Amino acid sequence: MKIKVVKNAYYVSEDLSGIGMIDEKEFQSSFSHLLVVGDVWEKDEDGDFICIEGEWKGECNDGWWEYNDVKKYFKVIK
């Protein structure tokens, strides 16, 4: 199975809503951009997805996300 990211997805690791003004560095460190529009992921023989094209090229989804939980962010291309 080969899938392409069609909608950006972010993981927010720190709630900054009660802090007030913050600088860009602190803001950027409060989240991770896990699924980037245009990235292509392919399922390997172990059932994991490997990014074969784009921002996360060469990375594995193991531990980051499960396909069934994030289907709406992808389009199946093969």
Kindly report whether the global pTM for this prediction surpasses the value 0.75: yes
pLDDT in tens, 22-77: 999 999 999 999 999 999 999 999 999 999 999 999 999 988 899 999 999 999 99
- State the Cα–Cα distance between residues 48 and 61, nearest whole angstrom: 6
Q: What is the pLDDT of residue 26?
A: 92
- State the Cα–Cα distance between residues 58 and 50, nearest whole angstrom: 6
Apex 36 CA angle, 51 and 16, nearest 5: 125
pLDDT in tens, 3-26: 999 999 999 989 888 889 999 999
